């Protein structure tokens, strides 16, 4: 009995020893403690097109953002009115159409133009009669049947008839009369139809001050911007400004403050300024809303980087400091101000540091993955 107990005890001890050995063996098969995360290496496909910028010391610039609305350049806007009364019979353009100078906009049936046409026929007939009479008088004078006075009077009659014909032609030209005696409304300048009130079969009077059409060339536009009283001292005539719109996000238009209205609106308490800027391709349309950024240079200098080098994540700004393809560091920075494509930095980087200026978000996400 005791021998059986001893044998069982030995068997149990052997079993435990085997278990410990197996456990130790299994433990030895566990992977080694995780090594440090593999260092990020910038891929050649990204490195080939990567833009590297330099941290520089620049004059500190603060900015003021104004709101405004795009409008036509009033120096190049022409209202088109009718000079006669009548009925509009043929409107040839629509709102927004581009027209050339001299192009027909509409035709008006007018009794006044009919009267001018009648005057033209009478003047032409009278000129032919006086010319015929002059020739006859000259023949009679050569034959001794007419006096010198008769010949001179005939010449004067021709001159008067010619003068009357010239006058009628001038009246018809001023009134834009067509070949059928209609009043032809023509575009005085090339540009866009920005206002139109003329419709077919509409009766109109010459003394009506409302224009049938308004034409603007839109090669340049004006923006009327609002300046609050606290910012008036920072606005100066002739300053260059940057203009952005909702229609073209990311696109900056360059203009300048052309006029400062030195009065405040009594209701809104704002001062108006006029910004003039070129409009290539006619991309800026009247009534568009715009933001106008006015830069104010201070007598101080600080570090600056291109705005596209900044990354904003978790309520913090970062830049990627570039030393090599295998050494790119995520560096937090404190931003003072951003003006256009330049951002001013209070701390975090040093003058001369190289920073990633393109594809920064892509590289930042790869470094954090």
Confidence of residue 297 (pLDDT cuts 50, 70, 90): low
The verdict on 224 and 292 lying in the same domain is yes
pLDDT at residue number 213: 93
Phi, psi of 160 (to 5 degrees): -65, -40
The verdict on 121 and 169 lying in the same domain is yes
pLDDT at residue number 2: 40
- pTM across the whole model: 0.55
The verdict on 139 and 240 lying in the same domain is no
CATH number, position 194: 2.40.50.100
pLDDT at residue number 256: 93
Least confident of 33-47, 89-103, 114-128: 33-47
Q: Which of 245, 262, 297 is the last residue before a domain boundary?
A: 297
Least confident of 20-29, 108-117, 296-305, 358-367: 20-29
pLDDT at residue number 1: 44
Average pLDDT, the chain: 83
The verdict on 101 and 131 lying in the same domain is no
Domains in the chain: how many in total? Answer: 4
pLDDT at residue number 12: 41
pLDDT at residue number 28: 44
Task: Look at residue 124 and tell me if it is in a domain.
Answer: yes
The verdict on 84 and 205 lying in the same domain is yes
Q: CB–CB of 59/301 below 8 Å?
A: yes
Question: Is the pLDDT at 296 greater than 80, yes or no?
Answer: no
The verdict on 246 and 258 lying in the same domain is yes
- Tokens 């809104």 locate to 268
The verdict on 200 and 106 lying in the same domain is yes
Q: Which of 282, 297, 312 is the last residue before a domain boundary?
A: 297
- The arithmetic mean of pLDDT across residues 142-169, rounded, is 87
The verdict on 237 and 363 lying in the same domain is no
The verdict on 293 and 307 lying in the same domain is no
pLDDT digits (tens, 9 = 90+) for 40-65: 888 988 888 899 999 999 887 777 88
Q: Which of 133, 164, 181 is the last residue before a domain boundary?
A: 181
Task: Look at residue 31 and tell me if it is in a domain.
Answer: no
CATH number, position 163: 1.10.287
- The arithmetic mean of pLDDT across residues 311-329, rounded, is 92
Task: Look at residue 332 and tell me if it is in a domain.
Answer: yes
The verdict on 84 and 201 lying in the same domain is yes
Task: Look at residue 44 and tell me if it is in a domain.
Answer: no
Q: CB–CB of 351/53 below 8 Å?
A: no
pLDDT at residue number 177: 58
pLDDT digits (tens, 9 = 90+) for 171-227: 777 665 555 667 888 899 999 999 999 999 888 877 777 889 999 989 999 999 999
The verdict on 85 and 212 lying in the same domain is yes
Task: Look at residue 288 and tell me if it is in a domain.
Answer: yes
pLDDT at residue number 190: 92
CATH number, position 276: 2.40.30.170
How many degrees, rounded to 5, is the angle at CA 143 between CA 141 and CA 148?
20
Question: Is the pLDDT at 11 greater than 60, yes or no?
Answer: no
Task: Note down the domain range covering 134.
Answer: 111-181
Task: Look at residue 202 and tell me if it is in a domain.
Answer: yes
Rounded CA separation 363/326 (Å): 12
Task: Between 63 and 7, name the one with better pLDDT.
Answer: 63
Task: Look at residue 278 and tell me if it is in a domain.
Answer: yes
The verdict on 232 and 151 lying in the same domain is no
pLDDT at residue number 289: 94
pLDDT at residue number 142: 84
Torsion of CA 331, 336, 338, 339, to 10 degrees: -140
How many angstroms separate the Cα of 135 from the Cα of each of 9, 130, 144, 148, 160? 161, 9, 14, 13, 16
pLDDT at residue number 103: 92
Task: Between 152 and 206, name the one with better pLDDT.
Answer: 152
Question: Is the pLDDT at 319 greater than 90, yes or no?
Answer: yes
Task: Look at residue 273 and tell me if it is in a domain.
Answer: yes
Task: For the chain, give the percent of residues with pLDDT over 70.
Answer: 86
pLDDT at residue number 339: 76
CATH number, position 357: 2.40.420.20
pLDDT digits (tens, 9 = 90+) for 75-102: 899 999 877 788 888 899 999 899 999 8
pLDDT at residue number 9: 45
Q: CB–CB of 191/216 below 8 Å?
A: yes
Task: Between 115 and 34, name the one with better pLDDT.
Answer: 115
């Amino acid at each position: 009995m005791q021998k059986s107990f001893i044998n069982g005890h030995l068997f149990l001890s052997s079993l435990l020893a085997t278990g410990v050995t197996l456990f130790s063996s299994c433990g030895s098969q566990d992977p080694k403690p995780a090594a440090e995360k593999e260092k990020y290496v910038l891929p050649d496909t990204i490195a080939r097109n990567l833009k590297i910028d330099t941290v520089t010391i620049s004059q500190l610039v603060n900015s003021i953002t104004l709101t405004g609305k795009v409008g036509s350049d009033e120096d190049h806007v022409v209202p088109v009115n009718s000079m006669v009364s009548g009925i509009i019979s043929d409107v040839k353009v629509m709102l927004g159409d581009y027209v050339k100078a001299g192009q027909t906009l509409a035709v008006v049936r007018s009794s006044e133009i009919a009267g001018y046409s009648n005057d033209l026929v009478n003047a032409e007939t009278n000129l032919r009669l006086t010319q015929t009479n002059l020739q006859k008088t000259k023949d009679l004078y050569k034959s001794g049947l007419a006096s010198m006075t008769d010949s001179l009077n005939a010449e004067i009659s021709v001159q008067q008839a010619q003068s009357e014909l010239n006058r009628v032609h001038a009246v018809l030209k001023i009134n834009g009369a067509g070949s059928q005696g209609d009043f032809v409304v023509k575009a005085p300048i090339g540009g866009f139809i920005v206002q139109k009130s003329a419709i077919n079969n509409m009766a109109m009077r010459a003394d009506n001050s409302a224009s049938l059409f308004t034409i603007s060339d839109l090669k340049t536009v004006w923006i009327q911007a609002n300046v609050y009283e606290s910012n008036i001292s920072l606005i100066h005539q002739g300053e260059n400004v940057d203009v952005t719109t909702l229609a073209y996000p990311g696109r900056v238009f360059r203009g300048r403050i052309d006029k400062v209205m030195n009065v405040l609106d009594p209701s809104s308490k704002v001062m108006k300024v006029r910004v003039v800027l070129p409009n290539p391709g006619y991309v800026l349309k009247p009534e568009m809303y715009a933001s106008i950024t006015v830069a104010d240079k201070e007598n101080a200098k600080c570090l600056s980087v291109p705005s596209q080098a900044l990354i904003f994540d978790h309520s913090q700004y970062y830049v990627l400091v570039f030393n090599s393809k295998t050494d790119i560091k995520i560096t937090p920075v404190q931003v003072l101000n951003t003006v256009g494509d330049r951002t001013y930095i209070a701390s975090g980087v040093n003058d001369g540091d190289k920073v990633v200026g393109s594809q920064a978000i892509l590289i930042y996400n790869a470094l954090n993955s």
